[in-house]
Amino acid sequence: MTATVRLARALYETILRDGEKAAPREACGFLFGAPDGPIAEAVPIRNAAEEMRAESPGEFQRSAETGYVMDPKEQLRALRAADEKGFTVRGVYHSHVEVGAYFSAEDRTRALFDGEPMFPDAVWVVADIRQKRGVGAKAFAWNPSGREFVEIALEII
């Protein structure tokens, strides 16, 4: 597990602008890059929380203002496009609106599937949106030895 994630300022800005545009709803997206290179792309994905909740309220309880679910088709399209470039999922980002950037219990639960991290080596970036302005972000990563998500340093370069 890395202790610091380095993110180009342009990508950081993409994340904050996506969060500002989506507010009061949450924004979400992927961070892609070559496995051994820098994070190269921030790709916004539509938050489909409302439709998912309407279709399956038992499995998705949250509105788009307090949760996100990546649109499945956009998710697949983005993953395929990244794959063609030789990129892997280096991170997942989403925004929190008016509550601060932290990795919530829901974030922790959903970042696991069957008790295992969906993307073991990925960083999870949470953007802090206040009154439609992106004011910061924090990063979290899976710590395999402690089997939990922990905050790591986010360095904007």
Choice from 20, 117, 134, 152 touching other proteins (CB under 8 A): 117
Q: 56-71: buried (b, 16+ CB within 10 Å) or exposed (e) per residue? A: eeeebebebbbbbbbb
Residue 94 backbone zone (phi > 0: left; psi -120 to 50: alpha; other: beta): beta
Nearest distance in Å: CB 21, other proteins: 19
State how far the Cα of 49 lies from the Cα of 26, in Å rounded to an integer.
Answer: 9
Short-list 131, 51, 39, CA closest to 82: 39
Stretch of residues binding other proteins (CB under 8 A), selected from 1-9, 14-22, 36-44, 57-65: 57-65
Choice from 56, 144, 147, 156 touching other proteins (CB under 8 A): 56
Cβ proximity of 47 and 96 under 8 Å:
no
Choice from 9, 10, 54, 113 touching other proteins (CB under 8 A): 113
For residue 105, state whether it binds other proteins (rule: CB under 8 A). Answer: yes
Nearest distance in Å: CB 149, other proteins: 11
For residue 97, state whether it binds other proteins (rule: CB under 8 A). Answer: no
Nearest distance in Å: CB 157, other proteins: 26
Cβ proximity of 3 and 153 under 8 Å:
yes
Question: Cα-flanking dihedrals φ and ψ of residue 119, to 5°?
Answer: -130, 90
Tokens of 39: 């994070």
Say how many residues touch other proteins, by CB under 8 A.
38
Choice from 5, 7, 15, 92 touching other proteins (CB under 8 A): 92
Q: Which residues lie near other proteins (CB under 8 A)?
A: 28, 45, 49, 52, 55-56, 58-60, 62, 66-70, 72-73, 75-76, 79-80, 92, 94, 104-107, 110-120
